[in-house]
Amino acid sequence: MGEADEPKKTALAQASEDAMVADTMGGRVHVRWDETAQATPHGQIVFFAEFLATAGVFDRWVQAWPLRYSSPNASRPRDVLGTLMLGILAGSKRYAHIAGVRGDAVAAKALGLRGMVSEDSVRRALAAMAPAASEPWMRDALISSVREALDRPWVLDMDATIKPLYGHQEGAEIGYNPHKPGRPSHVLHTFWVGNLRLVLDAVLSSGKQHTSGHAKAAMARLLDELGDKAPALVRGDCGYGNEDIIDVCEQRELRYLLRLRKTANVKRLIERLFRRDDWTRATEASQGWQAIEDELRLSGWSKARRVVVLRRRIKHDIALTANRRGQHEANEQLVLALPHDEVQDRAQAWEYTVLATNVPYEIAAIGQLYRDRCDCENGFDELKNQWGWGGFTTQDMHRSQVTARAVALVYNWWSWYVRAANPQARREALTSRPLLLAAVGRATSSGNQTTLYLTPMHAEAALIKSMIANVHAAIEHVKAAAEQLPKLDRWRALLAYICQLIVGQIGLPTPPAALAASG
Tens digit of pLDDT for each residue in 477-501?
999 998 888 888 999 999 999 999 8
Distance CA 506, CA 493 (A): 17
Q: Which amino acid is at 151?
A: D
Q: What pLDDT, on the 0 to 100 scale, is given for residue 329?
A: 41
Question: What is the residue-averaged pLDDT of the chain?
Answer: 86
pTM (predicted TM-score): 0.87
For the chain, give the percent of residues with pLDDT over 70. Answer: 87
Q: What pLDDT, on the 0 to 100 scale, is given for residue 518?
A: 43
Distant-in-sequence, close-in-space partners of 516: CB < 8 Å, separation ≥ 6: none
Asked if 234 and 257 touch (Cβ cutoff 8 Å), the reply is: yes
232 vs 17: which has the higher pLDDT: 232
Residue 2 confidence (pLDDT) above 80: no
Q: How confident is the model at residue 64 (pLDDT cuts 50, 70, 90)?
A: very high
Residue 334 confidence (pLDDT) above 50: no
Q: What pLDDT, on the 0 to 100 scale, is given for residue 33?
A: 80
Q: What would the mean pLDDT of 68-92 be, rounded to a whole number?
A: 91
Range scoring the smallest mean pLDDT among 199-203, 222-226, 348-352: 348-352
Question: What is the three-class DSSP state of 311?
Answer: strand
Instruction: Encode 120-130: b = buried (16+ Cβ within 10 Å), e = exposed.
Output: ebbbebbeebe
Q: What pLDDT, on the 0 to 100 scale, is given for residue 362?
A: 87
Q: In DSSP terms, which residues pair with 188 in a beta bridge?
A: 161, 204
Q: What pLDDT, on the 0 to 100 scale, is given for residue 13?
A: 62
Domains of the chain by residue range: 134-385, 459-518
Distance CA 164, CA 175 (A): 10
Residue 340 confidence (pLDDT) above 60: no
Which CATH fold topology does 134-385 show?
Transposase Inhibitor Protein From Tn5; Chain A, domain 1 (3.90.350)
Residue 273 confidence (pLDDT) above 80: yes
Distance CA 91, CA 190 (A): 21
Q: What pLDDT, on the 0 to 100 scale, is given for residue 285?
A: 81
Q: How confident is the model at residue 514 (pLDDT cuts 50, 70, 90)?
A: very low
Q: In DSSP terms, which residues pair with 28 in a beta bridge?
A: 23
Q: What pLDDT, on the 0 to 100 scale, is given for residue 51?
A: 96
